[in-house]
Amino acid sequence: MIAKASIAELAPFYHRYLQQIPEGDILVRLQEQADELKKMLTPLLPEKQNYAYDAGKWTVKELFGHMIDTERIMAYRTLCIARGEEQSLPGFEENAYVANAQFSKREWSSLLQEYQWQRQANIILFESFDETTLPRTGTANNNPATVRGLITVIAAHEFHHVQILKERYRLK
């Protein structure tokens, strides 16, 4: 079991995300999220995949791609800190990543598969961490973060964007 991180384990930027995640086992939450997102996104028709709710906003494909990229980056940061990395890990500019990813050219099934495999690989990795690893602290984007904190951010970031998919993109 990996309990939800406290706000002391992450930079203030992430506090708004943490507030959205209920207490409990983050590993269970990560699996529940994967199941929920698969159910929500698998049947999505092409016209909905390329839909943006307003001018200048990301399409569903771009938002989903951003979620995958962010999970991959947070998992990398988690791995580095878990293994004792002492160097500050770089930040990333999410809009530049989306602009350069060309998600609109990707097959929907490929994005779905990438997400599922990324999530399952992360859960397996996180399950291998013990109680001495979870509180280990490192620096990411010039801010201190614990292993547990970054795992919680993965769940919280996804929760945030699933809410956007439901509310602004009107997905169920």
One-letter amino acid for residue 158 of the chain: E
Q: What is the pLDDT averaged over residues 131-139?
A: 97
Lowest pLDDT segment from 15-24, 73-82, 142-151:
15-24
Please say if the pLDDT value at position 133 is more than 90.
yes
Token readout for 80 is 């580095």
Domains and CATH numbers, the chain: 7-167 (1.20.120.450)
List, in order, residues 6 or more apart from 149 with CB less than 8 Å away.
5, 9, 10, 14
Token readout for 146 is 């614990």
pLDDT per position as a tens digit, 83-118: 999 999 999 999 999 999 999 999 999 999 999 999
Local structure of residue 59 (DSSP, 8 states): P
Q: What is the pLDDT averaged over residues 129-147?
A: 97
Please report the pLDDT score of residue 136 as a whole number: 98
Please report the pLDDT score of residue 19 as a whole number: 86
Is the Cβ–Cβ distance between 139 and 145 less than 8 Å?
A: yes
pLDDT per position as a tens digit, 59-73: 999 999 999 999 999
Please say if the pLDDT value at position 20 is more than 90.
no
CA distances from 65 to 19, 85, 134 (A): 24, 27, 27
Task: For residues 71 and 150, give the distance between their C-alpha atoms in angstroms, rounded to a whole number.
Answer: 10
Give the max Cα distance, the chain. 47
